[in-house]
Amino acid sequence: MTGKRILLGITGSISAYKSALLTRLLIKAGAEVQVIMTESAQAFITPLTLGTLSKRPVLTRFVSDEAAGTWNNHVELGLWADAFIIAPASAHTLARCAHGLCDDLLSAVYLSAKCPVFFAPAMDLDMYRHPTTVENLRRLESFGNHIIRAEFGELASGLVGEGRLAEPETIVQTLETFWSIDKPENPSSPAPYPLPLLNKRVLVTAGPTQEAIDPVRYISNHSTGKMGYAIAGALAQAGADVTLVSGPTALPLPHPTIRRVDVLSARQMFEAAQVAFTEADVVVLSAAVADYTPAHPADRKIKKKEDTFSIELTKTTDIAATLGAMKRDGQLIMGFALETDNERENALKKLYAKQFDWIVLNSLRDAGAGFGHDTNKITVIDKDEQTYEFALKSKIELAQDLVNLVTQKLASA
């Protein structure tokens, strides 16, 4: 980002404290940063802090010096910038920009901007889910703006859910990726390589779940998440807006634009997936979710006493079946089946029972396939029972094969 000129808009949100680190990271990456703050933002972080970090006076009003008659020219600012990032973007600011209201410097610069604009929303859980906010985000995106989705986690209210400002590192990575793949010299020329899933929203679940027995022990499985992470990376490389709901794994984020939601238990995975499912165009359910969980997990470590020990288990929510029942017209779902016996029969039952468009079948009988390997061997069956056989190959290569099936289906639709 060396030499890039970036406007950083900061609005009234507790997440404004992260803008100091964001400013510093942008400067460190070689960018010039001009901060614009709303009046309410100044209640959370001072212009002095951000002016010191950006090495430029922070702009807060149209008129900079009434006595001298000088003002901050919003048109010139809009022409100066290579990118305008509004982070955090409060619900109020999203609504104003979505409807063209122009009562402060930040919104006037937004309406004047000739550069790409990125909104990174931050607010409480229910505000972020509210239909008004959802519609405002869609409206802004329809104008050609870019949305850096809020993250899942603990919020200032004490609630846990979606609404946290994306981490500053994620915002910087998003910008770097944008400029690396979307900068043709001639605006009318095609992108450097095709992005067949551009503007498509995709949910991917990956990895195992852990079901607590006590604070020390848990029930889990051998899934490493490698297949799901490879699929998420291939989808993002194809231009999709990917939300990756991940069980515990040591794997790195496969693509900088992916928004990862980390979970532990089957319940947490269901709750996170349910949120992302409502907006997803494509859903890939590759996680190995526990079918059962301890009915009464202990709050203290269970000591070894008896020769035998029993744990009462209860069924977890069937994520695939529940989401499949919520499926809307045009939405595509890909499920996975790891089988040891009657593979095709069991896979077909799952395909129809859970309203999948594809079922990806692999067998533990096949050498080099299944958990832990860098390779896999799969058979894909669609809802018309058309079968696609893929030989043993790397999971990265297979991920691209699966993305090709999704792309072809969307193109034919």
Annotated binding site for CTP: 291, 301, 336, 350, 354
For residues 33 and 148, membership in a common domain is answered with yes
Is residue 221 part of the annotated active site? The answer reads yes
Indicate if the pLDDT at residue 372 is higher than 80.
Answer: no
For residues 131 and 217, membership in a common domain is answered with no
> What are 130-170's pLDDT values in tens digits?
889 988 988 888 788 888 888 878 888 888 888 889 899 98
For residues 163 and 212, membership in a common domain is answered with no
Alpha carbon of 147 to those of 201, 259, 330: distances in Å? 12, 12, 23
> What are 15-49's pLDDT values in tens digits?
999 999 999 999 999 999 999 999 999 999 999 99
Residue 270 located in a structural domain: yes
| Separation between Cα atoms, residue 149 and residue 115, nearest integer Å | 20
For residues 12 and 154, membership in a common domain is answered with yes
For residues 286 and 248, membership in a common domain is answered with yes
Q: What is the pTM of this model?
A: 0.58
For residues 42 and 140, membership in a common domain is answered with yes
Residue 103 located in a structural domain: yes
> Domain residues for 130?
5-181
For residues 177 and 205, membership in a common domain is answered with no
For residues 85 and 17, membership in a common domain is answered with yes
Indicate if the pLDDT at residue 186 is higher than 80.
Answer: no
Mean pLDDT in residue range 213-222: 93
> What are 325-345's pLDDT values in tens digits?
999 999 999 999 988 888 899
Annotated binding site: 291, 301, 336, 350, 354
pLDDT band at 184 (very low <50, low <70, confident <90, very high): very low
Q: Can you give the CATH number for the domain in which 279 is found? A: 3.40.50.10300
| Separation between Cα atoms, residue 133 and residue 156, nearest integer Å | 19
Q: How many domains does the chain contain in total? A: 2
For residues 280 and 135, membership in a common domain is answered with no
Cα angle 132-133-139, degrees, rounded to a multiple of 5 = 90
- Which of 149, 181, 213 terminates a domain? The answer is 181
Q: Can you give the CATH number for the domain in which 42 is found? A: 3.40.50.1950
| Separation between Cα atoms, residue 263 and residue 317, nearest integer Å | 15
Catalytic residue among 72, 221, 346, 404: 221
Q: Count the Cβ atoms, other than its own, within 10 Å of residue 306.
A: 6
For residues 111 and 173, membership in a common domain is answered with yes
For residues 128 and 74, membership in a common domain is answered with yes
Closest CA to 212 of 132, 302, 136: 302
Paired tokens of 11: 């609005």
For residues 76 and 216, membership in a common domain is answered with no
